[in-house]
Amino acid sequence: MTTIRYTKDHEWLRLDGDAATVGISNYAQAQLGDIVYVELPPVGKNIAKGDEAAVVESVKAASEVYAPMSGEVTAVNSELEGAPGTVNDDAEGKGWFLKLKVVNPAEFAELMSEEQYKAFLETIE
């Protein structure tokens, strides 16, 4: 079963077993505007929860993407290098940034559900 969760920094994580796909939320990409560059981590890198996992640059600003959970990078979305605007078009689908092999499944419970995230967005808009 695949479940999606969110962070207060506007990353999303889709967990399927011990494999997690990570990206930024639709809210985040809308705030950034037109995305022009994405810097992805190397495959094999170990990332702790809360560490910088990637960088996204838009016409407005550059922003770090933080790891929602700890794990080893098993894949990156290399298509973003040539088409960073994919994040604007489909942030929570084809615009994913990286995949992790999760090392601490308990961290998943610390993330917000879609409903909790929507409620959180209402407090900042």
Would you kindly state where each structural domain of the chain is located, as residue ranges?
A: 3-124
Across residues 82-104, what is the average pLDDT?
97
Q: Domain 3-124: which topology? A: OB fold (Dihydrolipoamide Acetyltransferase, E2P) (2.40.50)
Rounded to the nearest 5 degrees, what angle is found at the Cα of 93, between the Cα atoms of 106 and 56?
Answer: 80
Q: Which residue has the tokens 């917000």?
A: 112
CB 4 within 8 A of CB 13: yes
- pLDDT tens for residues 14-28? 999 999 999 999 999
pLDDT tens digits along 105-115: 999 999 999 99
- Own/partner pairs, 104-108, CB within 8 angstroms, 24+ separation: 104/49, 104/69, 104/70, 104/71, 105/18, 107/49, 107/68, 107/69, 107/70, 108/3, 108/5, 108/13, 108/15, 108/69
pTM: 0.95
pLDDT confidence of residue 1? 52
Tell me the CA distances in angstroms from 5 to 13, 37, 45, 53, 60, one per residue in order: 5, 25, 22, 17, 26
Q: Is 73's pLDDT higher than 60?
A: yes
- Residue 3's pLDDT is 84
Q: Is the pLDDT of residue 68 over 60?
A: yes
Segment 77-93 shows an average pLDDT of: 96
Q: What pLDDT does 2 receive? A: 63
Helix (H) or strand (E) holding 30: helix 26-32
- What is the predicted pLDDT for the residue at 70? 98
Distances (CA, A) of 86 to 29, 83, 99, 110: 10, 6, 17, 28
